Structure 1
Amino acid sequence: MKIHPTAIVSPKAVLADDVEIGPGVIIGDEVTLGAGCVVQAHAIIEGKTTLGTGNLVGYGSIIGTEPQDFAFKKETVSEVRIGNGNTLREYVTIHRGTKEGSATEVGDGCYLMVGSHLGHNVRIANRVIIANACHLAGYVEVQEGAVLGGGTVFHQFMRVGRQAMVRGGTRFGKDIVPYAMADADNFLSGINVIGLRRSGMKAETRQEIRRAFKLLFRSGLNVSQAVEQAATMEWGPEATAFFDFVRESKRGICPANQRKGDRDEGGESID
């Protein structure tokens, strides 16, 4: 174990034998760091915070502090839980849950860039990329493989679907459906075709997602009507997950704008 002499590490913290702790770091009583974790200079990890294996906590990052919630009570026991193989770059902030027994969660293999913020009770699934200065308010959920562009802000309780791509410098208060491109405030432009292809998704599955997207946004039906019609049709697991996401939405979903940018494998517009 490598602990810089200027670091302040609680003797109650649980650290794996090969953890590296840089200058000026502060590690609190209830912190657990798994094998291969590196905490760079002047980072602070406190509260009931658990990091799995192989995580990097960047310079000046602050994890596990109290939530920015006026209803929060000092005696509340809550957590931050971070999985394995994540990179948290400089000045990332992650607040712990605001309710008794709740947690803010990050999965495995995520990359949080400089200055990104996760508010209380945010849930980040596996292999999510969050670019510089993204701000996620309380209870935001980001599903597996989504990419959030820099400087984007997300309203509390909203969701970002799996493998969605969100343009930087935008803001969202409604749910972004899976597999979508979101490139304007609360609007979608089409399907994340390149991202789906790069992920290894088969062409027939991509085509089915296109059909689902057209039914939801281009058929002239409202959302409830489209979901009802989808329930009468047969879909593979990815498209089924697409409609399940829509059906479970509490904040409503972002509509698709009228751009013609989404095209099928042959270059034809889905419109």
Structure 2
Amino acid sequence: MKIHSTAIVDPTAKVAANVAIGPYAVVGARVVIGERSTIESHAVINPDVTIGVGNFIGHGGIIGTAPQDLSFSPGRKTHVAIGNENVIREHCTIHRGSAEGSVTKMGDKNFLMAGAHVGHNCEIGNNVIIANNCLLGGHVSVGDGAFVGGACVFHQHMCVGRLAITQGASAFSKDIPPFVIAAERNYVFGLNVVGLRRAGFSAKDRDEIKTAFKLVYTSGLNIAQAIEKAAT
């Protein structure tokens, strides 16, 4: 274990033997950090955060601080749970859950670029890329393989679908369906065809997704009508 002499690690924290913790980093009470993880200088891992194996927390990253929720009571027991092999770059912030016993969750092999913010009770899947300075409000869900462009803003309680792509500097307040390219303000431009190929979708599967996309977005039907037609 490589812990810099200026780092502060709470005696109740469980830190694996080969974890590196940099200068002036703080690891709070009841934190768990898995093997081969790196916590760089000035990062703060607040109490009740669980970090899996092979994670990287960049300089000044803040994990598990209280949510920005006016209804939150400081006495509540809430958590952050981070999976394995994630890269969380410098100055990212990830807030813990708001309601009693709730969790902000992140899966495996995600890449959060510098300055990204993940609000309370968000759920991020696997192999997600969130570019610089993105803002995820509370309870946002991001599906596996999604790519979120830089400086995007997401309203609370919305979903970003699997393998969706969002253009940088866009803002969203409505759910983004899986497999689409979305931009500007709640606008869908097309399908992430390249992403579907890379993810191993067959030509038949891609054709079915294209048919569904056209039915919803270019047929002139409303959502209810499109769903009804798709079911027939």
Question: What's the TM-score, normalizing by structure 2?
Answer: 0.98
- Counterpart AA for 1:127: N
Count of matched residue pairs: 232
Aligned partners of 2:93 and 2:24: how far apart in 1? Answer: 17
Structure number with larger C-alpha Rg? 1
- The residue aligned with 1:147 is 147
Matched, 1:217 2:222: no
Identity percentage over the alignment?
A: 51
Aligned partner of residue 80 in structure 1, secondary structure: strand
Q: Residue 87 in 1 paired to residue 56 in 2?
A: no
Distance 2:30 2:37 in 1: 16
Q: Which residue in 2 is equivalent to 1:104? A: 104
Q: In structure 2, what is the equivalent of residue 226 of structure 1?
A: 226
Does 2:82 align with 1:64?
A: no
2:10 is aligned with what amino acid?
A: S
Alignment of 1:105-124 (within 5 A): 105-124=105-124
Q: How does 1:132-143 map onto structure 2 within 5 Å?
A: 132-143=132-143
3-state SS, counterpart of residue 207 of structure 1 = helix
TM-superposed deviation, 1:198: 2.0
Q: Distance in 1 between matches of 2:218 and 2:229?
A: 13
Report how far residue 47 of structure 1 moved.
2.1
- The one-letter code sitting in structure 1 at the alignment partner of 2:12 is K
Distance 1:47 1:4 in 2: 20
| 1:13 and 2:37 matched | no
Q: Distance in 2 between matches of 1:231 and 1:128?
A: 31
The root-mean-square deviation of aligned C-alpha atoms, in Å, is: 0.7
SS in 1 for 2:108: coil
Compute the displacement of 1:189 (Å). Answer: 0.3
Consecutive unaligned residues in structure 2, runs of 5 or more: none
For structure 1, the 5+ residue unaligned runs are 233-271
Find the aligned partners of 2:78 and 2:157 in 1 and give their Cα distance: 18
Deviates more, 1:87-96 or 1:201-210: 201-210
**Residue 224 of structure 1 aligns to a residue in which SS?**
helix
* 2:78 is the counterpart of 1:78: yes
Confirm whether residue 189 of structure 1 aligns to residue 189 of structure 2: yes
What code does the residue aligned with 2:125 have? Answer: A
Is 1:48–2:48 an aligned residue pair? yes
Matches within 5 A, 1:30-45: 30-45=30-45
Cα distance in 2 for partners of 1:208, 1:184 equals 26
In the superposition, the TM-score normalised over structure 1's length comes to 0.84
SS at match of 1:208: helix
Contact 2:27–2:47 (CA under 8 A) maintained in structure 1: no
* Superposed CA offset, 1:219-266 (max 9, x none): 22110111122223xxxxxxxxxxxxxxxxxxxxxxxxxxxxxxxxxx
